[in-house]
A = this chain, B = another copy of it.
């Protein structure tokens, strides 16, 4: 595989890190400030091992950073621009719905800029 293709491969993997509803919820949650795993578990409302599995994926793609603080491990966004990218895509989606007259309001609400 050429070096250039490797870059596209990595670019795709980064995008793949965003391609799951739970991970999107985690990222938006972290955009409101660093949190530890239990807080995320409550906010996203899925079992703790599931959160940890998704956090591992986000870590592997360098989308989040983790830092141990005593007993807890604090997770934070690695780069705020990831939220910008998500918001852009959400806006694209909202416009599509507007064109087809469905769900547009709910999409517009609940973004990171709530």
Interface residues of A (CB under 8 A from B): 3-16, 18-21, 23-25, 62, 78-79, 81-82, 84-86, 88-93, 95-96, 103, 106-107, 110
Residues of B within 8 A of A7 (CB): 103, 106-107, 110
Residues of B within 8 A of A12 (CB): 18-21, 23-24
B106:A3 contact, CB within 8 angstroms: yes
A11:B89 contact, CB within 8 angstroms: yes
Copies in the complex: 2
Return A35 CB to nearest CB of chain B, in Å: 18
Residues of B within 8 A of A96 (CB): 62, 78-79
B89:A85 contact, CB within 8 angstroms: yes
Using A19-B16, A96-B62, A110-B4 as known contacts, say yes or no to A90 and B11 having CB atoms under 8 A apart.
Answer: yes
| 26 residue pairs bridging A and B, Cβ less than 8 Å apart | A3-B103, A4-B110, A6-B103, A7-B106, A7-B107, A8-B25, A9-B21, A10-B93, A10-B107, A11-B21, A11-B93, A12-B18, A12-B24, A14-B89, A14-B93, A15-B15, A15-B18, A15-B86, A15-B89, A18-B18, A19-B19, A62-B93, A62-B96, A81-B88, A81-B89, A85-B89
